[in-house]
Structure 1
Amino acid sequence: MHFLIAPDKFKGTLSAEQVATHLARGLESHGHTAACVPAADGGDGTVAAVLASGFTEHRSLVTGPHGRPVEAAYALRGTTAVIETAQASGLTLMDPRRPMPMEATSYGTGELIRHALDAGATTIVLGVGGVATTDGGIGMLTALGARFLDADGQEVRPGRLEKLEAVEAGGLDPRIGAVEVVLASDVDNPLTGPDGAAAVYGPQKGAGPDHVRRLDAGLRRLAGLVDPEAADRPGAGAAGGIGFAAMALLGAERRPGIDAVLELGPFREELARADVVVTGEGKADRQTLHGKVAHGVARRAREAGLETWVVCGVSELSQEQIDEAGFAGVLALTDIEPDPELCRANAGELLDHLAQRLAARFEES
């Protein structure tokens, strides 16, 4: 059999490329062949995934969410750049003991976009997710030349958007107008309200109830001055409002993250050659069924008439959910090693064994 292996990363344990390599090794040890196409959904790990598809890594010093310099990477192939917000504005860059829900900025993401423009990019795939910010993307836009001013003509700080009186977008880098921006996101939240950026994602960034109220009020103020209709679009609330900023002022078109990423690599060509598809992620749960990598890969495989097996660290899916998702089956590392800590410590070796178990299923059939 010829397998197409297109997994996401196992967060905090193995990259998507490492997961694919271990699965291929196990399958090939039983005489099968495999093609590896690491995948991502637009969140953290997207740059790493596309590097396996001929992109080149570029690193730059940019402003982190805390205002201090960080080294961030983006990927470039020809005139297409892939940028993930987590690289420059990610929650993992923060000291968990010192959350900054009202101060964190997306400025570094704008600097990454500017670096990509300097490198000749005319298409920018902006993967959003995993940020520490809820600034409505004003940091990103400020880095690109826009200005956000209070009644005294002073720059408004990220957590003080309720004081916003004027938005000057005329200074945006003129190259933006000639660039195609793709917002790669599986988040469909609006910018504000009970399902918005502040209410849903603010608490995980350290925002208490009062912070959430103030942040949401500020985002409403921003939307009212920029583009109220864009605030209600699916994905406007992605990455603390970076989704809104990208759609309203950068002309971005939102696409499901998994689709945007798969189209950057040889997935379509390899799917045409495959007999079976294997995907995976660290944890298979309800979120898996809503736009994540495994769901997106399985959808495309199903359209091609192929079955998809999901490999994961741990699974919380019922058999009914597995069937409804159209997965042929789910294999978890905890099927072999019940201890989650040992699973993480020995994930590569366990993936080898899990792939061999999968290979054996096809030998039995």
Structure 2
Amino acid sequence: MTERLVISRLGQRGDGIADTSDGPSFVPYALPGETVTVEPVAGHPDRRHLLAVDTASPERVVPVCKHFGICGGCALQHWALDRQLAWKRDLVIEALRSTGLDAPVAETLDAHGEGRRRATLHARRGAHDILEVGFAAPRAHHVVAIDECPILAPGLNGIINAAWAIAEVIAPARKPLDIQATTTENGLDIDVRGSGPLDMARRTALAAIANKHRLARITRHGELVIQRAPPTLKVGPATVTLPPGVFLQATATAEAVLAELVREGAGRARKIADLFCGVGPFALQLAEKARVTAADSDANAIAALKAAATNTGGLKPLEAAARDLFRRPFVASELKGFDAVVFDPPRQGAEAQARELARSTVPSIVAVSCDRMTFARDARILVDGGYRLKSVTPVDQFRYSPHIEIVGVFAKN
């Protein structure tokens, strides 16, 4: 049974919301002010499937990808970019207000740049053993086969063909195969997960694929299969050789924008702690002017950071150590003597570390986060501990999605 709804606002995941007598109804790909025709979604009484847009919003635009709405990688290609940026700023403001914080929030910085430099494609053999390689469908488990993706950076050109070739060699029958690709200076770095052990015939076939598609490296669950060239990236003054599957910011532009905001937030600090440092996108640039102590739970990332620092001239002393900051955060006594602390945790935030920072006397703190709710929680902890939230800057490196990066600068009262 179909029905007509008027969309009043957008939800936090980018779905249109219509207020009905039965409560809110969520309609993906609908915009505020639109009148739409929808049908129920089986098993989800509060969700609707969009059939037609009867009255379109003036903010509606033509999606940039032919797979939009079928592939689950993007949620907002139908909405004008300037409206997306403003909406994401509003989401950050709402998250802060939910914890009782009212801080100056800058306009959202667009950091899409050339596009995503990392992508994870999935491969699965479906009905009749037909291979599909692409991204997951919206809110579903099946794979949508794709032949192009316009949000990827030029450095990922060729990844789809390479992923198909890899999948044809090792794709299992049921469980999706994950093919993670990262752009590097020497070609694509590929880490394959879900394949199970590889026999010699498959390893030989993968080596041939690496040569044909000019891949820098192929690993399986971090284990080296073939390396044609070291997968390196320039980070500030340093060159970092990437560990397999290591975390990087989604776009190169975002990494540069975030690093600049971090440097500005740290000000004239001469001794800085960089916590959840990864391979050092902040540490290696901060070390141009300050002594840096860096820590992260990923031992391979720490090893890569140490090697990069050792091989880069002109840096101040940079110490790096593997440490689980969720279980062993830097306590207040360890933070004495630091002029500034930078922390950039995973999506779950850094509650334990924030509590120790709140007890400290560090003059300046710069918090970087990819989750607005955990950022707001950790910010509340710092403010309750005597810090003032001086500024908040949203950074959009996740174009067409509801995700947003945030940089907050705190000063001890």
Q: TM-score, normalised by structure 2?
A: 0.33
Q: TM-score, normalised by structure 1?
A: 0.36
Higher RCO (CA-CA < 8 Å; seq separation 6+) = 1
Q: Which structure dedicates a bigger proportion of its chain to strand?
A: 2
